[in-house]
Amino acid sequence: MLLQWTHQAKTHQILLDCGFSERELIQRLGMRGLSIEALDAILITHEHGDHLGKAPSIAARHGVELWSTFGTLRPVLIAQAKSAMPLRHRRLRAGESQDLFGMQIEAVAVPHDASEPVQFIFNLARDKALPLRLGVLTDLGHASAHVIARFKGLDALVVEANHDVQLLEQSGYPASLKKRVGGDWGHLSNDQSAALLQAIDAASLSCVIAAHLSRQNNHPDRVRSTMHQRLGHAFAQRLIIADQHEGFDWQLADKKAG
């Protein structure tokens, strides 16, 4: 996911997670008139393949700073000592914020079966009285009290709606994988995602994007109908469902942040 903003008349951009090949990343950035070198940082939430991908080698090759917790990059950082390709790494700690060109980036600890996983809240201080707060929250097994507390009062949110409980149950996944995905350290179901949105008061959100949908165990119609039941018609109407291929525009950020 690409996050772009303007600070003191300059445009900045970060990439959040990097599950693509280098070639695909170059192609996707190229569609927006960008190169890998134009990235101010690549942020990684956790080490699972669809998030970390080849980020360390891509970042090293293109001289881009990679941000993650120590746990996320542990084997890479240990191997770095012997590597010919130096990696610029900024260590993130859950509960702490980093500043990047007017953007405060907060790493929030989440319950997921990875080593020191985090998700992010981005605070764009355009105006101290009214900062723009964007949250990205995927890959978590349940909405912990900590997550609910931190993700309240946002302007926009990308939230996981990974699976439909019934489809997961009926799927051809092995029992162990069903248990992992549906468990407390796996992924949010549509129902859990709707409950989380209720808990953080989704009514205040100008933009909500459902993401990280399982191809096998979910369908956009199921997400929308669950949200419709739990959060009402108006909410379901304005919900955006992210498509892995088509992508999505974070329209609020475009409008408000210019």
| Shortest Cβ 16–Zn ion spacing (Å) | 12
Q: Is 40 in the site for Zn ion (CB under 5 A)?
A: no
- Total binding residues toward Zn ion, as defined by CB under 5 A: 3
- Span interacting with Zn ion, options 30-38, 132-140, 147-155, 196-204, rule CB under 5 A: 132-140
**Residue showing the smallest CB distance to Zn ion in the complex:** 48
The CA distance from 186 to 196, in Å, is 15
Residues in the chain: 258
Which residue's CB is nearer to Zn ion, number 106 or number 160? 160
- Please pick, from the candidates 6, 22, 34, 48, the single residue that binds Zn ion as defined by CB under 5 A: 48
Which residue's CB is nearer to Zn ion, number 120 or number 235? 120
- Please pick, from the candidates 22, 50, 65, 191, the single residue that binds Zn ion as defined by CB under 5 A: 50
Q: Is 47 in the site for Zn ion (CB under 5 A)?
A: no
| Shortest Cβ 96–Zn ion spacing (Å) | 21
Instruction: Return the amino acid letter for 216.
Output: Q
SS (H, E, C) 164-201: CHHHHHHCCCCHHHHHHHHCCCCCCEHHHHHHHHHHCC
| Shortest Cβ 156–Zn ion spacing (Å) | 20
Q: In what order do the strands lie in the sheet with 97-100?
A: 97-100, 103-109, 118-124, 132-137, 156-160, 207-211, 240-241
- Span interacting with Zn ion, options 48-56, 96-104, 171-179, 230-238, rule CB under 5 A: 48-56
Which residues bind to Zn ion, rule: CB under 5 A? 48, 50, 139
